[in-house]
Amino acid sequence: MSKNKSEKKKKKKKKKESMTEQEIAEKTEEFLITQGDFLLVELTGRIKSSGKIIDVTDEEIARKEGVYDEKEIYGPRLVIVGKGWVIKGVDEILEKMVVGVSKTITIPPSEAFGEKDAKNIKTYSIREVQKHVKKPRPGTAVTLDGRRGFIRHIAQGRVRVDFNHPLAGEAISYDVKVVKKITDEKEKIIELIKRRIPKIDPEKFNIIKENEVISINLPKEIYFDQNLPIAKIGIASELQQYITDVETVRFVETFGKELFQPSHNHNHDHDHNHKH
């Protein structure tokens, strides 16, 4: 094969392998992060000075570190960049990250839970505190003057209450990994619902978006959840705020007769003093 033919073949092969500008832009868009992006993020936050975990999304890490909570729902957390859904230092670093890449950062107190402020430490009479807490002790949480604080010291009938955040003055170390960037509108809606109702399989919500209205058919197992009214308000507010062209959110609950039928296995309305 002549040298010219060989060079032509190489050029042809190179041209075939190279991406178009549009493909590069799409690929870049897929991995780069900007304000307002919907992300699923894995987070592990620790107090820098002690290494104590204060925030964790990974169940395996929680178990390993002895901070597992059976009431907690583990898994990547939904974050909308720049909306303050995570502490300031983490929110700011997300814009400088790339999907799929991990980063460990140290956040100074000013960008975490604030510096300790002496103005937020107040002294009260023990009688005043006892109106809110029967047996005040150091470390006990108390709400006074509409503010939540912690009792730090009790002496001679006086109680010192600290209204600073419990982690004020602490630098925080965070392991951050952006697992996924969500661009599909239906998936965004599902994640916003999951954020408020995390214990129900999202596949059980029938979601329809028509024009400027989102209708959500709720599964029967949450009809009697006492937290449902607050969850619905949160979902409606966030859908209108973060999903384009949404003016109305409807929640559909269907109460068929079967919902009120006693269980076939056990009738809860009878006397439980069984005689055998």
Distances (CA, A) of 221 to 174, 197, 228: 36, 12, 11
* Model confidence band, residue 13 (pLDDT cutoffs 50, 70, 90): very low
Given a cut of 70, whether residue 66 has pLDDT beyond it is yes
List the alpha helices (DSSP H) in the chain: 3-17, 21-31, 59-64, 88-94, 126-130, 185-196, 228-242
Strands (DSSP E) contained in 69-222 are 77-80, 102-107, 121-125, 141-144, 147-155, 158-162, 172-182, 206-210, 213-217
Q: 144-190, pLDDT tens digit by residue?
A: 999 999 999 999 999 999 999 999 999 999 999 999 999 999 999 99
Q: Hey, what long-range contacts does 163-166 have (CB within 8 A, 24 or more apart)?
A: 163/120, 163/121, 163/122, 164/114, 164/116, 164/117, 164/120, 164/121, 165/113, 165/114, 166/113
> For residue 260, what pLDDT is reported?
79
Give residue for tokens 């006492």.
226
The reported pLDDT for the residue numbered 19 is 57
On average, the pLDDT of the chain sits at 89
Residues 97-126: tens digit of each pLDDT: 999 999 999 999 999 999 999 999 999 999
- Express each pLDDT in 243-254 by its tens digit: 999 999 999 999
* Confidence at residue 157, expressed as pLDDT on a 0 to 100 scale: 94
C-alpha–C-alpha distance, residues 238 and 230, integer Å: 12
Looking at domain 23-115+167-183, its CATH class is: alpha beta
What is the distance between the alpha carbons of residues 128 and 123, in angstroms, rounded to a whole number? 10
Cα–Cα distance, 199 to 201 (Å, whole number): 7
H/E element, 201:
none
pLDDT average, residue stretch 210-224: 95
Do the domains at 23-115+167-183 and 184-260 have one common CATH topology? Answer: no
Instruction: Note the pLDDT of residue 275.
Output: 47
Q: What torsion do the CA atoms of 216, 218, 223, 226 make, to the nearest 10 degrees?
A: -60
Please give the pLDDT value at position 172.
Answer: 98
CATH classification code of 184-260: 3.30.70.2210
Residue in this structure with the two tokens 């870049």, named with its chain if needed? 28
Count the alpha carbons within 13 Å of 198 in the hemisphere toward its beta carbon: 9
Cα 216 to Cα 207: distance, rounded to the nearest angstrom: 5
Interaxial angle between packed helices 185-196 and 228-242, expressed in degrees from 0 to 180 and rounded to the nearest 10: 150
CB 219 within 8 A of CB 252: no
Per-residue pLDDT, 259? 78
pLDDT at position 18: 56
Which residues touch 53 (CB under 8 Å, ≥6 apart)? 44, 45, 46, 61, 62, 65, 67
Specify the DSSP class assigned to residue 214: E
182 has which bridge partners? 38
What ranges do the domains of the chain cover? 23-115+167-183, 118-162, 184-260
**What fold does the segment set 118-162 form as a domain?**
Thrombin, subunit H (2.40.10)
Q: How far is CA 124 from the centre of its chain?
A: 36
